[in-house]
Amino acid sequence: MTLFDRVFSGNDAVYGLTEGAINDAISKYGEDKAVSFPDTAYSLPCYYSVTGTKVTTLKELKDALGVVKSLMTRDHQLNDAFMSGVATALCAEFIEVLKYIDGQVPYELPIYGHLADAVIRELGVPLVTGDIPGVAVILGSAPSVEDAVALVKSYQAQGILVTLVGGVIDQVMEAGMNTGANVRVIPLGKDVTAVIHVVSVALRAALIFGNVKPGDAATLMDYTMKRVPAFVNAFKPLDDVIVACGAGAIALGFPVITNETENIFRVPKSLIVQEDVSKFNATSLEARDIKIKITNVDIPVAFASAFEGEIIRRKDMQVEFDGSRVDCAELVHTVDASEIEDHKITLIGPDLDEMADGSKNSIAYVVKVAGKKMQPDFEPVIERKFHNYINCIEGVYHTGQRDMQRIRVSHAAFNAGFRAKHIGEVLYTQVKNEFDAVVDKCEVVIYTDPAECTRIRHEVAIPIFNKRDDRLANLTDESVEVYYSCILCQAFSPSHVCVVTPERLGLCGAVSWLDAKATNELDPTGPCQVITKERPIDENLGSYEDVDEAVKKFSQGALEHVTLYSIMQDPMTSCGCFECICGIEPFSNGVVIANREYAGMTPLGMTFPEMASMTGGGVQTPGFMGHGKHFIASKKFMKAEGGVERIVWMPKELKETVAERLNKTAKDLYGIDNFTDMIGDETIATDPEELVGFLTEKGHPALGLDPMM
């Protein structure tokens, strides 16, 4: 049988199953029964992406199957095989959505099934920064449990996001492997159809970040091929159904690597037979042109971004350092080159093996740096990375910052020989790796002696932090000479440009003005470029000829005008990985803000994913704007429309997070005390009329403002 005949046969089989399943569901629930996946604004995501048509009921699902059938042409060109592969994937999506019918919960952790839009938006930044260099889809059962674990771990160690379908899930479970999104190993489901849940992620990424128009299948496939670094590892035996799914994957640009040798054809860079499973990793990376940044840190445990989300529970903990209870600090300090010795790591105080098992201790580490191009403004930029560096150590967990950090070291890491100096080693290596353009020499001093920690915290660190805070407080849009562009996301969202100002950080929340400045210094031709602000058009709107020119240039002409302070007139665009989105609420003349973590309904009648789907991909949608959490309390937040007093609703949790800073801003701007008490949340109202009632009762200032539209 030819390769294409195998694809056709697999496609026919899945189509038959799907048709049967839909008919059964209709006879059980009736045609009008609703079908949808949870937590997505794009349901059914794959079918919607490919055809531009949303499916909401069984009847529509049945009609959709007719469309799928029209893709199943049976000539003998690759297009026929590709479209049959896509048809197979769509059938899989239909079968999977039926599992969710009538409020059923088909998957329970550790198995995920469908993945929410929020997951995709969170993946945006790490994917563009290369922090997640690729996405592996592992299908079937490895030759042995050991092979399965070794393969998954090999990807994990490279930071690659691993999704699992089929027998491999049982294999990693049997081995007791820790799985979950936080360690970048996501079991999707045991049926082969569950593979659609990762395809769904790739296609939604194209809609969210790429502004691909649903139904524009050619652009969609071009986007996934060029911008989504996914690949498939399929273990033998490969039946026709898997071959058909593989055709769908290859159509999207994802190579398939298999150990099957029977009745299989080889296609360069697309369908690769690798009999040695231990070489799947290397073969796959080469096939998808994924380059791994190699970080060799001389420590006794692994160091990889996949461990960033790892959590150390109390029972697994050897020692803990906790800045909220005892004196701790972490600090980058610029010194003269003559004062330090490169790569010198000093420990002052007891080492981990001198601390009691389960004990709470003090720690302070001072990273002294020197370099001709080093500026004190870069100190906090480097320091903010410590969280990420220390978290990437296998068996070590870090939260917080400055003098409030908390670190746990697991029994496993301790037993593997992990000691205090290794923290220094990690900090040294990473600072030198990532900041080599400004840091010429670097020395680390680690204090565990409690008295020394107290001294460092109060006499060294806090005065520096205060000085920095003063500098930051004075750092306003008006006080600086230049802004910065950030196009880090263009790998995914080719026409989006962020304009980063002191009072408006990047919408992803990850790039502040200082970060952008440092990035520009580190890589002058890189993603952050200087934007002058010499030719203002309207300072209230925050429009500048310089900004427009920069935006036009960096968006390759896709955008002509952007204002910094308005959500109504030429609002700044989003890539799709924004932390929050605000949208106009017409009844109250205000805006509603929802954050990515919030899963419920808003008074706009839309959830976060639905609001988010209104923008992103570098498109301007007046009335909607993506932004970072930090921006909410900025004096520049929709300043052109009146500022923060327009905020009428936020999820409770978000409100609490920003309350202190937001209240201060409201006090400064309008003289209002405890402004956040006037803002609604989901415990007060998710209905616009009820919300207006609440706002009226509280005397919310937005009600008295001019309508925005």
Partner 1 sequence: MSEFTLTTVEEFEAATNRLLETGAKVGADSWQMRVKNQTPHCKFGENGVCCRICSMGPCRITPKAPRGICGCDAHGIVGRNFLRFVAGGAATHSDHGREICNTLGHTEAGGTYQVKDPAKLIRIAKEWGVETEGKDIYDLAHEMSEIALSEYGKNHGISRWLSRAPEHTREIWHREGIEPRAIDREVSCAMHMTHMGNSCKPEALIRQSLRNGLSDGWGGSMCGTEFSDVLFGTPKEIQTEANLGVMVEENVNIVVHGHDPSLSEIICDLADSKEMQDYAKTFGAKGITVSGVCCTSNEVAMRRGIPMAGNFLQQENVVLTGACEAIVVDVQCIFPALGPLSKCFHTKFITTSPICQMPDSEFIEFDTGSAAEKAKKIVMLACENFQNRKKELVYIPQMKHKAWVGYSVEEIVHKLDGVTNSQVDTTGSTRPLLECVTSGVLRGAVAMVGCNNPKVRPDTAHIEMMKKLIAKDIIIIASGCSAQAAAKAGLMDKAAKDLCGAGLKRVCELADIPPVLHMGSCVDISRMMILAAELSKDSGLAISQLPVVGCAPEWMSEKAVSIGNYVVATGLDTFLGVVPYCAGSDQVAGLLTDGIRDWVEAAYTVETDIDKLCELMIERIEQKRAALGI
Rounded to whole angstroms, how far apart are CA atoms 182 and 610?
25
Which phi-psi region, left, alpha or beta, contains residue 12 (left: φ > 0; alpha: ψ -120 to 50)? alpha
The CB-of-205 to partner 1 minimum distance in angstroms stands at 18
Span of 90-98, 238-246, 271-279, 664-672 interacting with partner 1 by CB under 8 A: 271-279
Burial per residue of 12-22, b for 16 or more beta-carbon CB atoms within 10 angstroms, e otherwise: bbbbebbbebb
274 lies in the site for partner 1, by CB under 8 A: yes
Question: Pick from 207, 244, 272, 702: which binds partner 1 (CB under 8 A)?
Answer: 272
79 lies in the site for partner 1, by CB under 8 A: yes
- Comparing CB distances to partner 1, the nearer of 76 and 467 is 76
268 lies in the site for partner 1, by CB under 8 A: yes
266 lies in the site for partner 1, by CB under 8 A: yes
Question: Pick from 287, 489, 541, 640: which binds partner 1 (CB under 8 A)?
Answer: 287
CB atoms within 10 A of CB 109: 10
Rounded to whole angstroms, how far apart are CA atoms 240 and 79?
18
Span of 47-55, 142-150, 265-273, 302-310 interacting with partner 1 by CB under 8 A: 265-273
Rounded to whole angstroms, how far apart are CA atoms 530 and 553?
13
Rounded to whole angstroms, how far apart are CA atoms 184 and 181?
5
Instruction: Point out which residues pair with 695 in neighbouring strands.
Output: none
259 lies in the site for partner 1, by CB under 8 A: no
Query: Which DSSP letter does residue 566 get?
Result: -
The CB-of-85 to partner 1 minimum distance in angstroms stands at 11
Rounded to whole angstroms, how far apart are CA atoms 442 and 188?
44
Judge contact between 520 and 486, C-beta under 8 A. Answer: no
Question: Pick from 43, 200, 283, 495: which binds partner 1 (CB under 8 A)?
Answer: 283
User: Where do runs of H (alpha helix) occur along 288-419?
Assistant: 378-384, 386-391, 411-415
Question: Pick from 76, 213, 291, 467: which binds partner 1 (CB under 8 A)?
Answer: 76
Residue 515 DSSP SS3: helix
Residue 526 DSSP SS3: coil
The CB-of-247 to partner 1 minimum distance in angstroms stands at 11
- Comparing CB distances to partner 1, the nearer of 80 and 327 is 80
The CB-of-492 to partner 1 minimum distance in angstroms stands at 17
- Comparing CB distances to partner 1, the nearer of 226 and 325 is 226
Judge contact between 279 and 151, C-beta under 8 A. Answer: no
The CB-of-12 to partner 1 minimum distance in angstroms stands at 18
Q: What does the DSSP assignment read for 4-41?
A: HHHHHHHHHHHHHHHHHHHHHHHHHH-TT-B---TT-S
The CB-of-269 to partner 1 minimum distance in angstroms stands at 5
267 lies in the site for partner 1, by CB under 8 A: yes
Rounded to whole angstroms, how far apart are CA atoms 419 and 424?
10
81 lies in the site for partner 1, by CB under 8 A: yes
Question: Pick from 27, 77, 261, 674: which binds partner 1 (CB under 8 A)?
Answer: 77
The CB-of-168 to partner 1 minimum distance in angstroms stands at 20
- Comparing CB distances to partner 1, the nearer of 415 and 556 is 556
Rounded to whole angstroms, how far apart are CA atoms 423 and 351?
11
- Comparing CB distances to partner 1, the nearer of 72 and 78 is 78
263 lies in the site for partner 1, by CB under 8 A: no
The CB-of-10 to partner 1 minimum distance in angstroms stands at 15
Residue 88 DSSP SS3: helix
Judge contact between 593 and 611, C-beta under 8 A. Answer: no
Rounded to whole angstroms, how far apart are CA atoms 680 and 652?
8
Span of 33-41, 269-277, 306-314, 422-430 interacting with partner 1 by CB under 8 A: 269-277
Placement of tokens 């919030």 in the chain: 598
Of how many residues is the chain composed? 709
**Amino acid letter, residue 72:** M
556 lies in the site for partner 1, by CB under 8 A: no
The CB-of-282 to partner 1 minimum distance in angstroms stands at 5
The CB-of-277 to partner 1 minimum distance in angstroms stands at 12
Question: Pick from 219, 391, 532, 569: which binds partner 1 (CB under 8 A)?
Answer: 219
Span of 78-86, 177-185, 297-305, 356-364 interacting with partner 1 by CB under 8 A: 78-86
Of 691, 672, 673, nearest to 681 by C-alpha is 691
273 lies in the site for partner 1, by CB under 8 A: yes
243 lies in the site for partner 1, by CB under 8 A: no
Span of 77-85, 196-204, 305-313, 682-690 interacting with partner 1 by CB under 8 A: 77-85
In sequence order, the 6+-apart residues with CB closer than 8 A to the CB of 290 are: 133, 134, 160, 229, 231, 284
Span of 34-42, 74-82, 144-152, 448-456 interacting with partner 1 by CB under 8 A: 74-82
The CB-of-319 to partner 1 minimum distance in angstroms stands at 42
Rounded to whole angstroms, how far apart are CA atoms 453 and 362?
6
- Comparing CB distances to partner 1, the nearer of 213 and 293 is 213
Span of 149-157, 275-283, 463-471, 575-583 interacting with partner 1 by CB under 8 A: 275-283
Burial per residue of 135-150, b for 16 or more beta-carbon CB atoms within 10 angstroms, e otherwise: bbbbbbbbeebebbbb
- Comparing CB distances to partner 1, the nearer of 207 and 505 is 207
- Comparing CB distances to partner 1, the nearer of 81 and 382 is 81
Of 431, 345, 447, 351, nearest to 388 by C-alpha is 431
Judge contact between 348 and 446, C-beta under 8 A. Answer: yes
279 lies in the site for partner 1, by CB under 8 A: yes
The CB-of-126 to partner 1 minimum distance in angstroms stands at 26
Rounded to whole angstroms, how far apart are CA atoms 437 and 449?
33
Span of 60-68, 263-271, 388-396, 413-421 interacting with partner 1 by CB under 8 A: 263-271
First to last CA, the chain: 63
How many of the chain's residues bind partner 1 (CB under 8 A)? 28
Positions 1 through 20 that interact with partner 1 (CB under 8 A) = 2-4
In sequence order, the 6+-apart residues with CB closer than 8 A to the CB of 645 are: 666, 669, 670, 672, 675, 701, 702, 705
* Secondary structure of 145-213 in HEC code, one letter for each residue: HHHHHHHHHHHHHCCCEEEEECHHHHHHHHCCCCCEHHHCEEEEECCHHHHHHHHHHHHHHHHHCCCCC
Residue 648 DSSP SS3: strand
Of 591, 595, 596, 600, nearest to 571 by C-alpha is 591
The CB-of-265 to partner 1 minimum distance in angstroms stands at 4
- Comparing CB distances to partner 1, the nearer of 11 and 270 is 270
Question: Pick from 41, 271, 347, 500: which binds partner 1 (CB under 8 A)?
Answer: 271
Retrieve residue 411's tokens.
């029994």
Placement of tokens 């400045």 in the chain: 517
- Comparing CB distances to partner 1, the nearer of 272 and 531 is 272
- Comparing CB distances to partner 1, the nearer of 266 and 664 is 266
**Amino acid letter, residue 440:** D
Query: Which DSSP letter does residue 472 get?
Result: H
Question: Pick from 69, 74, 269, 667: which binds partner 1 (CB under 8 A)?
Answer: 269
Question: Pick from 174, 263, 282, 291: which binds partner 1 (CB under 8 A)?
Answer: 282
270 lies in the site for partner 1, by CB under 8 A: yes
Question: Pick from 122, 222, 239, 377: which binds partner 1 (CB under 8 A)?
Answer: 222
- Comparing CB distances to partner 1, the nearer of 79 and 415 is 79
Span of 280-288, 544-552, 597-605, 697-705 interacting with partner 1 by CB under 8 A: 280-288
Contact footprint for partner 1 (CB under 8 A)? 2-4, 76-79, 81-82, 219, 222, 225, 251, 265-274, 279, 282-283, 286-287
